[in-house]
Amino acid sequence: MSTKRSRSFISKPDLVSTTLIYPMTLTTETDTVDSGFTITTNVSSPLSQSPLQVQNSAGTILWSVPVAGGPKTNAKDMRAYNTAGTKYAAFNGQTSPQYYEYYDGTASYKLFSGMGAPSTDTVGTASTGNFYWRRATYDYPIMVGKSVTIGAATTNRWQSVAPTHDQANQTSENNAENVLPAKALFSNFKLILATAPGAGSTRTHTFRYNSAASALSFTIANPATSGSNTTDTVIAYPNNITNKTISIASMANIAPAGSLAKWRLLQTAPNQQLYASTNANTSTTAARYMGIQDSGVGTTSASVAQIFPDTGTLISFTACLSGSSGAGSYNLELFKGTYGSETSTGISFTLTGTSPQLFSPYETSVSVAPDDSLYWAITPSATAPTAAIVTVSMEYASSTAGNYVLLGGSGTTNLSTTATTFNNWYGNAAWNATEANVKALAYGTTLKSLYARVTSDTGAAKTRTCTFRINGANSAATVTFNNSGVTKNWTGTVAIATDDDINLTSIPTGTPNASRMIYGLCLNTPITSTATVYVCTAGGSPGTWSQIV
Amino acid sequence: MSKSNIIGTNQTTPGAMTAPSNLLTDATATTGLLIKQGAGAPVTQVPIRVIDSDAATLWEITNAGHCVSYNMKMGANYGVFTSGVYLNGRNSIPCLQLPDGTSNNGIRIYMGSGVPSGTTVNTSVIGDMYYRIDTPSTANQRIYMCTVAGTPGTWLGIA
């Protein structure tokens, strides 16, 4: 391979020793016209291994070809020169931000793209005449209600970004973190307490990014019962090397009065993000299951499967562990189909460490339609892995602009057959007898459909009604099971205002058969930013930009 | 030792080389095949270069880290990839060419100063776009679209 001399590999089709663990095969083709020289990865090579890498003499990585994501430069560029070698077009991969570049022999012209208006985050230092394509984005509300006391300690206690209503406060941030599937902007964090912090006490609630506090934070000082931050934003990125995750933290200056809480957050991006985490170390010896918008696991797929209420595609599947799996690994696989008969989608990961894995090929999508049932299966390898938390996420791209979903279920616990109970969404949690315990804090949006399924029909002359409630009152969104089938759905339009209390209720009549219930809600959020184009009229960081389309 | 230097061991006449690149296969989980520039290599030496039978350079990684070729395709016009996005340097004016879903005939995006001309765009087809850098504050002199194919064709300022 020296550039000093020519070598012929024709007589040596396999140049690599077979005594190595993952020997590559180098082949020079003699009987086909496909390739002059081929590098073939070993069948046993881990997915994390890059089949080819180029380094300079100092060991600096110049270029690599990973299994997933395509060839990469190392903060450099990929150039296509004209035949004279004087001009080039390039994908410039500088550290941040990246851009398309045209160099005409004397000057460079840049074209950026991103979310939001041009900023130092999306254009860095720009020059007059640079262009910026702005993507269309939507505000997807994350709307939470808690039936357990929010963190009441003088050190941080954590919650997932989309927790079940009964998710306990986590004393380890690992237990609450959700991995990111794509870039998103987080904002409009608001939390309302049921009980003021108490004399001399203040509570601080913070959106955490990559295990660190962000500016998206606020403090509630006694006697106040609510706080918000509607000015700061956090742009969060996925990263296939470091563990870029998000969570919510709560901390007080002195032990505060215990309190339930409801809160909301906006995730602004082209697509909704669906998060799931085992929230605790998963079994190292037995299979476990979780929903696709969930926190915690079940021992059966039937207890965690979630039904989808909308038509669209799932993309950008990303997963990681909270720590190394040691000698073993965890297989994570997505199943979809009719409830009880789901089959593998082909989306699967072999997880071994904290570096997030993006499913390869990255453009793979899974179509979903109303009544589809989905869940993740987690299977430890025969060689027991080291205990770890599994977190996985994906984007949901609805076929209808602005549509997004909330997915929930009752887990392993049957609904009451005699009493009215209440629940919200984000995973599988038992229905609660007290509505105030599960009310979630809303952001202006529209409910479009409610799909529900019971695991056992009601029995003759008995009913079970599931209704979406706003501020303690029934809305028009309701389905009734009356021994005529285990699936029911409602479609229509129910407006939800910012700061409304929202939740579901289950009302039995005539003591219906014992059953669990799973449900999916489809909502719609108006477009936040249409796709448009800006041009830089004065250079700087980020400079002055004018919208021109 | 986790890596095996296979240069030399499989060559019948290694000869005397001053700064050979090393071709390594890695026994770890990070790298399958590593091409590492030899110690003492001059800065002008590229660690890897692919040439055709006519000795023309097809592709190389420069010592500065640039990945260079005359076309850089993401996807390809053969096999299952029937329409790739690519950096098109085939002609005198390199550009970004987008896929059209079926072939490599998607629109091309140029950038430059002044109105589209023979020095800033190649022979154009309808739909090609041109981003102009020198008049960012003048309406309809910032983005142009080709409305009549030609050299350079007819271009309409649209923003």
- DSSP symbols for A16-76: S-TTSSS--EEEE-SS-SS-SEEEE--TT--TTSEEEEEE-TT--EEEEE-SSS--EESSS
- Dist. CA A382–CA A283, nearest whole Å: 12
Query: Which residues in chain A are closer than 8 Å to B89, comparing Cβ atoms?
Result: 79-83, 87-89
Using pLDDT thresholds of 50, 70 and 90, give the confidence band for residue A269.
very high
pLDDT above 70: percentage of residues in chain A: 93
Pairing of strands B67-69, A77-81: parallel
Residues 6+ apart with CB under 8 A from A17: A23, B4, B6, B25
Of the candidate ranges A70-84, A186-200, A272-286, A416-430, the one whose mean pLDDT is the lowest: A70-84
Interface test with A, best of B44, B67, B97 (most A CBs within 10 A): B67
- Phi/psi of residue A179, each to 5°? -80, 150
pLDDT for A376 equals 98
Using pLDDT thresholds of 50, 70 and 90, give the confidence band for residue B24.
confident
pLDDT at A369 over 80: yes
Give B4-19 pLDDT, tens digit per residue.
444 444 444 444 456 6
Q: What is the mean pLDDT of chain A?
A: 90
Report residue B10 as tokens.
Answer: 């499989």
State the complex-level ipTM: 0.82
- Dist. CA A262–CA A146, nearest whole Å: 6
Q: State the first-to-last Cα distance of chain B, in angstroms, to the nearest integer.
A: 61
Q: Which of A521, A460, A542 is nearest to A141 (CA)?
A: A521
Q: Does A1 touch chain B (CB under 8 A)?
A: yes
pLDDT above 70: percentage of residues in chain B: 74
Which carries the bigger pLDDT value, residue A428 or residue B46? A428
Q: How far does the CA of residue B89 sit from the closest CA of chain A (Å)? A: 4
pLDDT at A195 over 60: yes
Show which of residues 65-94 on chain A sit within 8 Å of chain B, judged by CB atoms. 70-71, 73-84, 87-91
Look at B39 and A42 and tell me if their CB atoms are within 8 Å: no
pLDDT at A7 over 60: no
Using pLDDT thresholds of 50, 70 and 90, give the confidence band for residue A8.
very low
Query: Which residues in chain A are closer than 8 Å to B63, comparing Cβ atoms?
Result: 56, 62
Give A447-484 pLDDT, tens digit per residue.
999 999 999 999 999 999 999 999 999 999 999 999 99
pLDDT for B103 equals 55
pLDDT at A302 over 80: yes
Give A51-97 pLDDT, tens digit per residue.
888 888 888 888 888 776 667 787 788 899 998 889 999 998 887 78
DSSP code, position A437: G
Show which of residues 501-540 on chain A sit within 8 Å of chain B, judged by CB atoms. 533, 535-537
Q: Cα–Cα distances in Å, from A203 out to A200, A241, A250, B141? A: 10, 34, 7, 54
Q: Which of B88, B95, B96, B152 is nearest to B125 (CA)?
A: B152
Show the DSSP H helices in B38-125 as ranges.
none
Highest mean pLDDT, choosing among A104-113, A121-130, A437-446: A437-446
